[in-house]
Amino acid sequence: MHGLDASSLMLTNISVRQQHRTEDYRVESLTYSSVLVSADIFNNGRVELFESSAAGLVNTSGSAQSLYQLPRSLSHNELAERMR
């Protein structure tokens, strides 16, 4: 388990979606069809984290912490493996 789903200890269904794009990965933490937290993880190691307004009802600090703890030197393949 990579931490994004485990970090959301609550009584709601949380799922994680990952999408490989040209210059980065997008990782999203969702509840039902609403995105709570999304992050763009760029090839150079930069991470941009976004919280939706729906995240105001849910503690998303564990998701943010999981993303910022990823090593900055991971290749696309290593990142994909960790996010599975």
Residue 4 lies in a domain: no
Q: Which residue has the higher pLDDT, 64 or 84?
A: 64
Considering its fold, how many domains does the chain have in total? 1
Model confidence at 41: pLDDT above 80 = yes
* Domain contains 61: yes
For 14-32, write each residue's pLDDT tens digit.
Answer: 777 888 888 888 888 887 7
Helix or strand or coil: residue 5?
A: coil
Domain that holds residue 44: 14-74
pTM of the model: 0.57
Q: Give strand pairing partners of 17.
A: 28
Say if 37 falls within a structural domain: yes
Predicted confidence at residue 81, as pLDDT, reads 63
Token digits of residue 13: 């269904």
58 in a structural domain = yes
Percent of the chain at pLDDT above 70?
48
- Whose structure tokens read 């949380």? 14
Output the pLDDT for position 2.
Answer: 46
- On whether residue 19 sits in a domain, the answer given is yes
More confident residue, 6 or 37: 37
